[in-house]
Structure 1
Amino acid sequence: MQPDRKFATGRSALLAAALLCLLLAIAAFIPLKPASALTPDTLQTRMLERRATEAAIWGMPLANFDAMRQAYFRDAGANYNDIMYWSRPSDWKNQTTTPNHSTIYVMLFVNLKDGPVVVDIPATADAGLYGALLDSWTIPLINVGSMGQDKGKGARYLLLPPGYQGDVPGGYIPVQSTTYNNYSLLRVITKTTEAADLAAGVDYLKRLKAYPLANAGAPVANRYLDMADKVYDGITPFDGRLFDSIARMVAEEPVQPRDLSIMGQFKALQIGKGLDFKPDAQRQQLLGNAASEAHTYLKEGYAASGEAIWGEQRQWRSLAARNVSYGTKLTFVDPDKGLYLDDRAFAWFAMFGPIVPPGPHVYMKSYTTDQGIRLDGSRTYKLTIPANAPVRDFWAVDVYDANTAGFIREAKVVGLDSYNQQMRTNSDGSVDLYLGPKPPEGLEHNWISTRAGQPFFTLFRIYGPTEGIVNRSWVLNDIQQID
């Protein structure tokens, strides 16, 4: 007599289920391979890889600062207290993170190791001046110029070194720094970008001075170095040199109380006070891999950071979340919650020279089309700026290499702005801008160049924002792919 087929099939299924349960029960009593089974060399390598990646993220502000400082010495031939500037709006040769092509930039680096340094800001007249004095962590210490402490009337600011106990003479605005290295990025806002206005802006900036307080009675004349036609390579390299910068800056600067435990961890990388950072070839490879991993993390982190300006209506985002920018005055330290390490690293991977918020401008970024697709330098896109943009000074659109956050190298046109009288304007007052590797025929003056195969992003800036952007009643269009 043959057994019932359904019964046999059901019994097989029950047996299979029972066997599976037995195997799972046995597996539950078999421990995973313990960490102690890993070799000492493997454990050491894994620990160093983790700490190197975290060091890159922690040290991003210092590395950004040092990259610019080394370019200041190397490319500009400058010394501390020299005044470096761009006599006309920047082109691709200004290799800093997300510079604005529309303004005259002024930069100087000072060192307080030998005592306080005076930064003498001249009163503004026809040109506006926006900027701040910053420490080497890129924390803005005080605003200067038109919306600064001096309200455009000019003042002598006195940068004081860490732990300074000396007297502050009358006639100075004291600025206490917690680092010896400090810098300033100043923006000279001219009425137009015509030659006469630019020349007047340069004349104005050449009244700016920086000198040691000890020499205040007879300061040495400053040097003014024009970078308009020179390549200024001030962007952090994401290889082993990243850690050279971090180690150098840690050696030069006081350790902040917030970083004591972190410095204990980084001792394993030979980064710290009194340590000799000389990695061998094997360690160099490990550090290079960590720098590359951190680079990818920071690129993606900056792309996703910030807040949607118009909610789900548009793709445009602020540069950082308000709680870590306005809320902390860009210190990224919340006394109740700690240090926002990742947000700080995202910011100074892609920016520099901020103003103590709120500043006299609105910035927003976009990495995608209106369909949420990442921007690709091989494609052509259109961005329509609606009429009646809410600005007192100017608006500007700039395009950046997503890998470096700097201008695309060799780009013919890095950005366009409302100063430009050659752009074609639509009958309703709007302006169509085109982003792509080649300009559309007949629209060359409305074109910003990209590079085929290279990812990019764009920033939209408003200097002198008015009510339309404050209350969000004016809405910027998203970027549209047209081929």
Structure 2
Amino acid sequence: MKFKKTILNFTIFLFIFSILFSSCEKKMTPGEAKEIAKEAYVYGFPMVVNYKTMYNYTLNEKSPEYKAAFNEKSCEARVFTPEDKAIVTPNSDTPYCMFWLDIRSEPIVLSVPEMEDDRYYSFQLIDLYTHNFAYLGTLSTGNKAGKYIVAKEGWKGEKPNGITDILYSETDLFFVVVRTQLIDANDLPNVKAIQEKYQIQELSSFLGEEPVKAAKIDNSLAWNDGDEFTVASLNYMNFMLNLTKPVASEVELRNKFAKLGLGTEKGFDINSFDEETQKAIKEGMQTGLKKMTDFATEVTTTDPMASTKIFGTRDFLTKSAKGNYNLDNFYVLRAIAAQHGLYGNSAQEAIYPTYLMEAAGVPYDAAKFNYTLTFKKDELPPVNAFWSFSIYDGITQLFIHNELDRYLLNSNMLEDFVYNEDGSLTFYMQKDAPEDALKANWLPAPNGPFYCTMRLYGPKEEAVNGEWINPPLLKLVK
């Protein structure tokens, strides 16, 4: 009896001690909540807009942009138009295959056919953080046929016969963007035939074994456009964090986010905080957004080659943040990359000289001015594949409806352009059409703000290192 009484007393003591200890823990102040919300917003923004794509393409079968379930291929033998709204700053050069893959239950096998020597293609593999963790294609693995396993980090399986290589993903879910070069409008049937040869298989199917029971994603959140710029973004961030495991260097940071409920089983609930803390969290989130906006404005107006420094693997971004911007971490780089060019390629695959504003806080405005861009003779973009120049609405970040259904000018059109007497080539960015003789060089602009992006696929070294400099966009008075 004495022993049982001693155990009971000790249990009561522990219970009382735990209550007293928890009551002594330092309560989170509104100031601390604001700072955490600021960090969390910048860190999580790429995951939030990545969720937008996952929801519209895979989780929500009623979405007008729904493509396929997890681990199912989705390809379209067409180019993007203003009606494609899930991804900002899209390209209209390469018909896409886009699909989400889930390797929680077992690895996936991606199969690619042999490609013509002069046709560019790529499989861009993007994890939940939006890191480009691997590539397949012309510039990375070549145009020979191949079969590739994609497994989660730590997978110990052996490479089966017939497999070319094994790739590893930091996250168990990832997005794949497949680009297949369209040579001209008559080339669509050829692109479609190539897309049909791309193949996705669970490893068990490839090996002819019984399939492994697939995991499911429950309790997904309905996406509302605009939430990425409000405190509601933290709800999506919480969902995505719960699909990942922190790397060792981010455990402390993730523990800090957990003070707001982010990445925890309980989750984030703005209404669970007192009024003052709620206000602080909202202010912190807006401060994070301003940090992104200010940094993007500074970088893009002073460095047209910034795209070579903000897309890539986790390791690349870590080195770029320190080496190029003297930053302790890369989160703001990753955030502005997702905000202004979600799913942009790594520099070895493509670079994107961008014309975002003519000066800090001063957007290009086709309602007031016409603009030109001129390549000097023999100074076209240096590439191993091809190049293009696109224009976007400055508000929606999407393509612009126009009478020509034209959204880009590219290297496949070189024979159609009108050249100047000295051999130079001038493009015209304006709302109204130029004289008929110059229409081939016209890129229709909106009646208001716009920005432009140049794409160099397979950029040569002189483009990557800055030896070749993209020409300026010049303003003309109407």
Structure 1 residue 333 displacement after superposition: 7.9
Give the match's secondary structure for 2:77: coil
Q: Distance in 2 between matches of 1:468 and 1:333?
A: 19
- Name the counterpart of 2:139: 147
- Name the counterpart of 1:53: 38
- Name the counterpart of 1:416: 409
For residues 417 and 293 of structure 1, do their structure 2 counterparts lie closer, same or farther at Cα, with a shift above 3 Å needed? farther
Q: Is 1:64 aligned to 2:49, yes or no? A: yes
Q: Distance in 2 between matches of 1:296 and 1:338?
A: 19
Partners of 1:94 and 1:233 within 8 A in 2: no
- Name the counterpart of 2:171: 179
TM-score, structure 1 length as denominator?
Answer: 0.75
Q: Number of residues paired by the alignment?
A: 419
> Which one-letter code corresponds to 2:74 in the other structure?
M
- Name the counterpart of 1:385: 375
Structure 1 residue 170 displacement after superposition: 3.1
Partners of 1:307 and 1:317 within 8 A in 2: no
- Name the counterpart of 1:137: 129
Structure 1 residue 207 displacement after superposition: 0.8
Give the match's secondary structure for 2:428: strand
Find 1:83's aligned residue among 57, 73, 89: 73
- Name the counterpart of 1:18: none
Q: Is 1:297 aligned to 2:282, yes or no? A: no
1:101-149: CA deviations, max 9, x gaps?
A: 2222222210111111111122212632123323222222222111223
For residues 470 and 115 of structure 1, do their structure 2 counterparts lie closer, same or farther at Cα, with a shift above 3 Å needed? closer
Q: Is 1:244 aligned to 2:235, yes or no? A: yes
Q: Distance in 1 between matches of 2:453 and 2:339?
A: 15
Partners of 2:298 and 2:360 within 8 A in 1: no
Q: Distance in 2 between matches of 1:430 and 1:238?
A: 43
Structure 1 residue 58 displacement after superposition: 0.6
- Name the counterpart of 2:352: 363
- Name the counterpart of 1:352: 342
- Name the counterpart of 1:376: 365
Find 1:280's aligned residue among 251, 271, 280: 271
For residues 334 and 304 of structure 1, do their structure 2 counterparts lie closer, same or farther at Cα, with a shift above 3 Å needed? closer
- Name the counterpart of 1:460: 454
- Name the counterpart of 2:161: 170
1:47-89: CA deviations, max 9, x gaps?
A: 3333222211011221232121112123224201222334222
- Name the counterpart of 2:17: none
Backbone CA RMSD of aligned residues:
3.7
Name stretches of at least 5 consecutive residues in structure 2 with no aligned partner.
1-25, 212-222
Larger fraction in helix? 2
Structure 1 residue 372 displacement after superposition: 10
Partners of 1:108 and 1:184 within 8 A in 2: yes
Give the match's secondary structure for 1:114: coil
For residues 100 and 428 of structure 1, do their structure 2 counterparts lie closer, same or farther at Cα, with a shift above 3 Å needed? farther
Structure 1 residue 417 displacement after superposition: 1.7
Give the match's secondary structure for 1:85: coil
Structure 1 residue 179 displacement after superposition: 0.7
> Which one-letter code corresponds to 1:127 in the other structure?
R
Partners of 1:250 and 1:272 within 8 A in 2: yes
Q: Distance in 2 between matches of 1:120 and 1:76?
A: 23
Q: Is 1:319 aligned to 2:319, yes or no? A: no
- Name the counterpart of 2:109: 118
1:149-200: CA deviations, max 9, x gaps?
A: 3x2212211111243234442332111222111122222123x2222x2220
For residues 464 and 245 of structure 1, do their structure 2 counterparts lie closer, same or farther at Cα, with a shift above 3 Å needed? same
For residues 204 and 65 of structure 1, do their structure 2 counterparts lie closer, same or farther at Cα, with a shift above 3 Å needed? same
Structure 1 residue 325 displacement after superposition: 5.8
For residues 234 and 328 of structure 1, do their structure 2 counterparts lie closer, same or farther at Cα, with a shift above 3 Å needed? farther
Q: Distance in 2 between matches of 1:61 and 1:202?
A: 31
Q: Distance in 1 between matches of 2:453 and 2:297?
A: 12
Q: Distance in 1 between matches of 2:466 and 2:267?
A: 53
- Name the counterpart of 1:266: 257
Partners of 1:97 and 1:235 within 8 A in 2: no
> Which one-letter code corresponds to 2:367 in the other structure?
S
1:421-460: CA deviations, max 9, x gaps?
A: 5543333333322223333343444333333343x32211
Residue identity over aligned pairs, in percent, reads: 20
Structure 1 residue 381 displacement after superposition: 1.3
Give the match's secondary structure for 2:56: helix
Partners of 1:62 and 1:249 within 8 A in 2: yes
Q: Distance in 2 between matches of 1:118 and 1:72?
A: 21
TM-score, structure 2 length as denominator?
Answer: 0.76
Q: Is 1:102 aligned to 2:97, yes or no? A: no
- Name the counterpart of 1:37: none
> Which one-letter code corresponds to 1:419 in the other structure?
N
Q: Distance in 2 between matches of 1:107 and 1:254?
A: 25
Structure 1 residue 375 displacement after superposition: 1.7
When Rg is computed on C-alpha atoms for both structures, the one with the higher figure is 1
Find 1:329's aligned residue among 310, 316, 321: 316
Structure 1 residue 479 displacement after superposition: 0.9
Partners of 2:96 and 2:178 within 8 A in 1: yes
Partners of 2:150 and 2:167 within 8 A in 1: yes
Give the match's secondary structure for 2:166: strand
Q: Distance in 2 between matches of 1:413 and 1:294?
A: 36
Give the match's secondary structure for 1:272: coil
